[in-house]
Amino acid sequence: MSADAMPASAPRSADSPFDDAMPLARILFSLRGRVPRKVYWLYGVLGPLLVSAMLEMLLGIVGVSETAAELATTVLLIWPCAAVAVKRWHDLDRSGWWVLINLVPLIGLLWSLIENGLRRGSVGANRFGSDLTGQF
């Protein structure tokens, strides 16, 4: 079939749950913008838990001590987790500095999970960008 006979745009299949409004590199490394709850759970909670477990197991297999493996995993994941959390606080129309609430033992982590993981972000555009969920 020639290039001229190809349709201009192929029909899109059903959207994947991993289709996001911004590129993965921006989700994981930028502190600007907003992300919805789905992105927070996938890239800020579940993804890092899986990566952490896999990396610690692999480092254990090659003989790295448990403490060193945990430290290496933490150092590797701290920026991406913080970047996703900052953008999630932005979605709630709050400063990214709220990510520091995680430094309060137990209560900070619970507060952050409830606010970021369960609350709907601000509807429509806010000072940090447009609403990426498209639900107004």
pLDDT (tens digit per residue) in 78-112: 999 999 999 999 999 999 999 999 999 999 999 99
Model pTM? 0.80
| pLDDT score recorded for residue 15 | 55
C-alpha distances (whole Å) from 71 to each of 24, 29, 34, 44, 101 are 24, 20, 29, 18, 21
Say what the pLDDT of residue 131 is. Answer: 86
